[in-house]
Each structure stands twice: as C-alpha cells, then as structure tokens.
C-alpha cells in the first residue's frame, strides 16, 4: 500500500505542479542505506546535463505521501528546470508507518548513513557537486547529513525555516545535530513573518552564527506573500514561503551558483 500511495503521489504531482510540457521527469527509486534498510526516493531529472544535484529533506514526519504541499516539494520543478538533479527521500524502510522521521531520528547516525546512500546514488547519476537542502524539521536532517558527510561528499547545505525550538509534536531542535562541525558553505533562509513558535525568525541570526566551522554562511530574510491557508507551522503559510515560492527558489539557486563559482579553479 505504501508503494501505491507513493506512485499515486508522483502521478498527482506531475499533473498539478507546472504545465506538462515544462515538466522535468520524475521517477521512484529504492536506494540502499544501512545494512538491509532502503529509502524510497523521488528522483527529479532536469532536461540536459545537470550542473549540480541536491537532496531535499521535507519537514513534518518525513512521509512524502502526506507532504504534498511541503515547500520543497512545491519548488522541486523550478529547481530541476534550473539544472539541478534532485533526490527527495521518504522515511527509510525501518521507519515507515512506525515513527517515520519523528523523535530523535533526524539527528541520528543511522539517518546520516541513509542520507549518504542517497548522496552516493546521485553521484553515480551525474558527476556534479551535491547539496543538501532542508525545510522546517527537514533542516535538522540536512544539518545532520552536512555535519556527518562533510566536504568529501557535499558542496553545501541550505537550511530553511529551521526548527530552533523543541516542540510538542515530535520535532527536535536543529541544535541536536553537530551544527558547529559543518564545514560546508551554508545558506540560512527564513520568512520574516514565520509565525511558527518552533521556527521564530528572530533565531535566524543565532543559527547563522552557530555555524562556526562553515567557510561562509549566507543569511537571507524574505517577506510578503499570500495570506496563510494553513496553521502557522504548516506549509501553506509564511513558514512555507506561501506566495513567494519564486523568490525563495531564486534565492536558493543564486546561492548554489555562488558556491559553484567559488569552487571553480
């Protein structure tokens, strides 16, 4: 049933995201991670040779079939059309239907190993730099992967609407990962009107300053957008950059371009 839900999710996404003729191809892959553990992953392939790749970590409990409105899922086609090969992992096979990515798992060594499997899969698809990008609780996954995998496998980490305060819904703080050990260029993105109590915009500067091992930290605050159509901690609100998806994706792509340019000999 999980596989069917996932396939239906991809089919629905292909029909609703952007016009069919503009779609980057999407498919499902089962990627090995720890021992016998696998991760069902959406792969979004740009038209032509990719210039970079990225692993997108969604928020919530990490179950893609329940996260159709997630900010990163809403902008995946925009990123792919800009030449970024994408992998969007579901919860790993030993967590699906149990706790998914709730609890302390997003900061765990096991989660880092699963992320490594996805990164290595992307590197086999295209010999390009790989970034990790997270939103909300997914930023904790991205920070965990960045700290554990480092410059040997990754080119940079983007943290959007990051959970900096522990909450009541199973979300841990990004500070439960080793943010001080992230030795990658980092991008911190926030909405000034984010009303989620676990992701207060006032914490953006503190998170940027906590990335002490990063060679360069870029902080960007956005404002404006559409009136919220969900709760303040859900995707269809300033927390999920509702109505300014184009500005948010442009900011992420500009940062990727900056990192790629700085790495050129």
Query: CA-CA distance, 41 to 64, in Å (whole number)?
Result: 9
Alpha helices in the chain (DSSP H): 2-16, 71-74, 76-81, 109-125, 137-149, 204-210, 245-263
Query: CA-CA distance, 254 to 257, in Å (whole number)?
Result: 5
Which CATH number does 2-263 carry? 3.40.50.1820
Stated as kind and residue range, the H or E segment containing 229 is: none
Q: What is the pTM of this model?
A: 0.92
Could you list the pLDDT tens digit for every one of the 265 residues in the chain?
344 355 555 544 443 444 444 689 999 999 999 989 999 999 999 999 999 999 999 999 999 988 889 999 999 999 999 999 999 999 999 998 878 999 899 999 999 999 999 999 999 999 999 999 999 999 999 999 999 999 999 999 999 999 999 876 656 999 999 999 999 999 999 999 999 999 999 999 999 999 999 999 999 999 999 999 999 999 999 999 999 999 999 999 999 999 999 998 8
């Amino acid at each position: 049933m999980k596989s069917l839900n996932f396939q239906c999710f991809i089919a629905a996404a292909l029909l609703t995201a952007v016009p069919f003729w503009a779609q980057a191809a999407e498919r499902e892959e089962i990627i090995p991670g720890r021992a016998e553990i696998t991760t069902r992953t959406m792969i979004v392939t740009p038209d032509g040779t990719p210039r970079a790749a990225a692993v997108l970590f969604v928020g919530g409990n990490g179950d893609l079939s329940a996260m159709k409105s997630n900010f990163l899922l809403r902008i995946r086609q925009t990123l792919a059309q800009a030449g970024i090969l994408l992998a969007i992992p579901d919860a790993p096979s030993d967590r699906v239907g149990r706790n998914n990515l709730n609890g302390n798992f997003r900061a765990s060594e096991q989660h880092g190993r699963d992320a490594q499997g996805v990164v290595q899969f992307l590197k086999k698809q295209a010999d390009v730099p790989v970034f990790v990008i997270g939103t909300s609780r997914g930023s904790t996954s991205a920070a965990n992967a960045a700290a554990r995998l480092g410059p040997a496998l990754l080119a940079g980490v983007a943290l959007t609407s990051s959970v900096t305060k522990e909450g009541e819904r199973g979300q841990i703080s990004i500070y439960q990962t080793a943010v001080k050990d992230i030795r990658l260029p980092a991008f911190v993105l926030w909405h000034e009107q984010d009303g989620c109590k676990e992701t207060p915009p006032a914490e953006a500067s503190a998170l940027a300053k906590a990335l002490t091992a990063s060679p360069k930290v870029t902080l960007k605050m956005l404002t404006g957008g559409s009136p919220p159509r969900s709760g303040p901690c859900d995707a269809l609100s300033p927390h999920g950059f509702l109505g300014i998806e184009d500005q948010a994706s442009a900011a992420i792509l500009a940062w990727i371009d900056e990192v790629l340019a700085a790495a050129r000999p």
